[in-house]
Amino acid sequence: MTAIAVIPGDGIGTEVVAQARKVLDVALPGYTATEYDLGARRYHATGEILPESVVTELDGHDAILLGAIGDPSVPPGVLERGLLLKLRFDFDQYVNLRPSRLWPGTVSPLADVKPGEIDLVVVREGTEGLYAGAGGTLHEGSSAEIATEESLNTRYGTERVIRDAFERARRRDRKHVTCVHKTNVLTHAGGLWRRTFADVSADYPDVATDYQHVDAAAMFLVTRPQAYDVIVTDNLFGDILTDIAAAVTGGIGLAASGNVNPDRTHPSMFEPVHGSAPDIAGKGVADPVAAIMSAGLLLEHLGHGEAATAVTRAVAADLAERTPGERLGTDAIGDRVTARVAEILG
């Protein structure tokens, strides 16, 4: 029996996760869900961020479904580093998978792209780079203050994520991987990425490749996002590029992600790219599509390909039949998509 750990988190996190669970109820019959109360609320109430005992419990599950973590009342970094990034690192979720598609029925801010034309996936490294947490501050608050951040990169970490990107590209129609870095300035890390990319690509003669600097890629994601198939990139660059990719495909409200441990040594974690959105929390207006699609990625990861496809198709159908400007409630969308998944799975 599949055991899912659920971390609803803060703000709209709880609202959208509830919808994703409805979908799982019909797509993954008989799974067990264990809720973990983590995030700003718990932090304020108990001072706890992520007790080690909870890490151990989470580790016993097949996968984790997360809503959103964070609130302006908590100093920046506390929950991000102490909870979200800690889980990504502790559970060795080195593939941060972020697909972006422009679905029929959704509106891109770009004038010249039509639904169906954008279909890319960013394979963002999840356990290295500037996210390693190396750095420090001296003379804080004085005019002599200095602060450093160190990007740590290994051949080991670079190679495994690049290999994953090639594997995914091989399974896609266009079979193309774009490596994105900033080799002309970050010559050390960039050199490592570039060499590793070249080495790994030799094992995939059927996959076409190119390389772009991150600034150029940020631009091309706006001017010709249709050109991308798979993008593989470093942790921070992936953070930025996936928000652009989300923006051009109808917004962060639709963007799903998986923090995947492909070796399955620990559970993978699935979460919408959006945050807790305190401004709209509690109003029942958050679009649960990103959370539902994240549940779809979870199903795919656990080997339930048919159920995953049903979720994708149901969401696509739901988006396609929305009328422009229409504002549906979180619950209503969740119910509609759930019904459709049930229908598709027969």
Residue ranges binding ligand IPM (CB under 6 A): 80, 84-85, 184-185, 215, 239, 273
In the residue annotation, 22 being an active-site residue is answered as no
Give the tokens for residue 268.
């993978």
Which DSSP letter does residue 300 get?
H
Catalytic residue from among 94, 119, 182, 228: 182
Query: Residue 80's closest CA among 92, 96, 68?
Result: 68
Among the options 114, 156, 210, 215, which is catalytic? 215
Instruction: State which of residues 53, 148, 265, 323 lies at the interface with a second copy (CB under 8 A).
Output: 148
| Positions 86 through 115 that interact with a second copy (CB under 8 A) | 108-112
Our CB check for ligand IPM shows the closer of 115 and 258 to be 258
Cβ-contact 268, 258 below 8 angstroms: yes
Q: Nearest Cα to 36, choosing from 79, 76, 4, 62?
A: 4
Q: Which residues neighbour 204 within 8 Å (Cβ) at sequence distance 6 or greater? A: 166, 169, 170
Kind of pairing between the strands at 256-260 and 95-101: antiparallel
SS3 assignment, position 206: coil
The whole-angstrom separation of Cα 43 and Cα 68 is: 14
Question: Which one of residues 25, 59, 62, 80 is an interface residue with a second copy (CB under 8 A)?
Answer: 80
- Please identify which of the residues 131, 204, 228, 229 carries the catalytic annotation: 131
Active site residue 86: no
Does residue 192 touch a second copy according to CB under 8 A?
yes
Q: Is 203 a catalytic residue?
A: no
Task: Identify the sign of the CA torsion 79, 233, 237, 128.
Answer: positive
Q: Is 131 a catalytic residue?
A: yes
Task: Tell me 284's DSSP state.
Answer: T
The smaller minimum CB distance to ligand IPM, of residues 119 and 239, is found at: 239
Name the active-site residue from 119, 239, 287, 318: 239
Q: Is 206 noted as a catalytic residue in this protein?
A: no
Footprint of a second copy (CB under 8 A)? 70, 76-77, 80-81, 85, 108-112, 130-131, 135-137, 139-156, 159, 182-192, 194-195, 214-216, 218-219, 222-223, 236, 239-244, 246-248, 251-252
Residues that are catalytic: 131, 182, 215, 239, 243
